Amino acid sequence: MIVRIKYSKTAAGRFLSHLDLLRTFERIFRRAGLPLAFSEGFNPHPKISYGSALAVGVTSDGEYLDVEFTEELPLTDMMKRLKEVSPPGLEVLELRSLDTRGKSLTAVINMARYCVRVPLRQALSQSRLDEVISRVISEPELIIDRERKTGKTEIDIKKGIYALEGCIQEGMLVLEMDVQTGSEGNVRPEEILELIRKFGNIDMEESLRIHRQGLYIRDNPLVRSPW
């Protein structure tokens, strides 16, 4: 049986790297006593596939993975067991049994929704913020530098920004955005924050919190969840 799991990465678990996450989930399934299915060969691996990797430090309410078990089990029972053995950093939210393997999560997920919060060092009005945001989205191209193993490269992230809104809450700049993710291209929330900072010349603190609200399948103009 193949099960799709929706889980969250909480504040306690936000420093887990993708590799830490893989290790931890295998152990969760083992502790839950669920009959993992393994790949063939000398060095068998559990059959678990993940949605888009989450950057270290980012929390999320909508992550997905598909896992295969060798036996059919009732989902309510499974849910109960998983909850009992999950560490503080990860929380299993929902389970769904998949009839067929279908396309992998990484192949279909192509959009992420983020919320970024950063304390401001200066006063900022809503109208000024709106103005900065509309300037950013009306640019024909948005070139940013990205560190690659081979060195710095310039890329245009304009096409990967689908929506961008902002507001001010208690001296905090809060940005909500829909951006591209997956194999076709990736836009990082910090990059958008940096554009806002630069365009508006806004003075903000260095500490920021990034939260991924969800992962989606975007088939313009339709957006649906991988659930």
Partner 1 sequence: MVDVCQIIENEILPKVTKPLRYVGNEYNVIKKDWTSVKLRSLFAFPDIYEVGMSHLGLRILYHLVNEQPEYLMERVFAPWPDMEEALRKRNIPLFGLESYHPMCEYDCIGFTLQYEMSYTNILNMLDIGQIPLKSADRGDDFPLVIAGGPCASNPEPLADYIDLFVLGEGEEVILEIFRSMAAHRGKRGGRQDKPALIQELASIEGIYVPAFYEPVYDERNRLKKIVPKEKAVTPRVSKRVLRDFDKAYFPTEPIVPYMEVIHDRIMLEVQRGCSRGCRFCQAGMIYRPVRERSPEVLLEQADRLAFETGYNEISLTSLSTSDYSCVEPLIKELLERYSKQKIGISLPSLRVDSFSVNLAAEIQRVRKTGLTFAPEAGTQRLRDVINKGVTEENLIEVASVAFEAGWNQIKLYFMMGLPTETMEDLDGIADLAYKVLRKGSEIQKRQGRSKQLKITVSVASFVPKAHTPFQWEAQDTRELLRTKQQYLKDKIRDRRIVYNYHESEVSFLEAVFAKGGRELGQVLHAAWQRGCKFDGWSEHFLYTAWIQAFADVGIDPAAIANQAGSFEDVLPWEHIDFGISKEYLWQERQRAYEAAKTGDCRFGACSACGVCQGLDVETVLILEGEKLNDC
Q: Which is nearer to partner 1, 154 or 206 (CB)?
A: 206
Dihedral angle, C-alpha 126, 129, 133, 135, nearest 10 °: 120
In the bound complex, what is the minimum distance in angstroms from residue 199's beta carbon to partner 1? 24
Contact call for residues 27 and 19 (beta carbons, < 8 A)? no
Q: Which residues pair with 212 in a beta bridge?
A: 60, 114
Looking at residues 179 to 218 of the shown chain, list those that interact with partner 1 (rule: CB under 8 A).
206-207, 209
Instruction: For residue 114, state whether it binds partner 1 (rule: CB under 8 A).
Output: no
Q: Does 220 sit near partner 1 (CB under 8 A)? A: no
19 near partner 1, judged by CB under 8 A: yes
**Site for partner 1 (CB under 8 A): how many residues?**
32
Q: Which is nearer to partner 1, 117 or 158 (CB)?
A: 117
Among 51, 89, 166, 200, binds partner 1 (CB under 8 A): 89
Residues 6+ apart with CB under 8 A from 183: 106, 107
Residue 118 in the binding site for partner 1 (CB under 8 A): no
Q: Tell me, letter by letter, the H, E, C secondary structure of 104-123.
A: CHHHHCCEEEEEEEEEECCC
170 binds partner 1 (CB under 8 A): no
Contact 215, 154 (CB under 8 A): no
47 near partner 1, judged by CB under 8 A: no
Task: Measure the CA dihedral 116/136/186/206, to 10°.
Answer: -40
Smallest separation, CB 12 to partner 1 (Å): 5
